[in-house]
Amino acid sequence: MLRLLVSLLSLTLPVAALAELSGRVVAVHDGDTLTLEDHGKKLRVRLDGIDAPELAQRYGKSSRSALTRLCRGKAAVVSERTKDEEGRVLGTVTCGAPDGVDANAEQVKQGLAWVYRTYLPLGSPLYELEANARLTQRGLWRDKNPVPPWEWRQQHPTRKKSRPTEPR
């Protein structure tokens, strides 16, 4: 019983960062992936806790454009949580550091990414941001039945996959 309680509590607590990385955003690949350069070293970073539409999917290019405007060419800080199966850093990205904007939250707030529920702790503010974007029909929530990227990837298996076909 105690083990179950500890497990449930761990889902509601914030996830500690492995490392704080800083540099300049030199590329934005899609609505949830960018490249950070720090002292000549380039790191591919996946915005943790969100999943943006694929580029070939409706709102995919809009999502990438928004992240580009928010981050490209700007100083950024990444709070690394872990690395994914492709070796990318998974973390929260703050662009325009030191007083910058949480890019993960901004993409969800603008309706340009889904909350990636599988590994996001309960109580994360991203859930409320997504609910608000849905209610106000921002971005992809204007569509009557937007297709989550993990479902879209399953429906289009011949496309190059940059992430797993199911939520992380």
111 touches 138 (CB < 8 A): yes
Look-up: residue for tokens 């105690």?
A: 2
**Per-residue pLDDT tens for 1-59?**
434 333 433 443 344 557 899 999 999 999 999 999 999 999 999 999 999 999 999 99
Q: CA distances (Å), 66 to each of 122, 130, 150, in order?
A: 26, 16, 20
Q: Which domains does the chain have, with CATH numbers?
A: 15-155 (2.40.50.90)
CA nearest neighbour of 74 among 46, 97, 47? 97
Catalytic residue numbers?
Answer: 46, 54, 88
**Per-residue pLDDT tens for 102-121?**
999 999 999 999 999 987 88
pTM (two decimals): 0.83
92 touches 21 (CB < 8 A): no
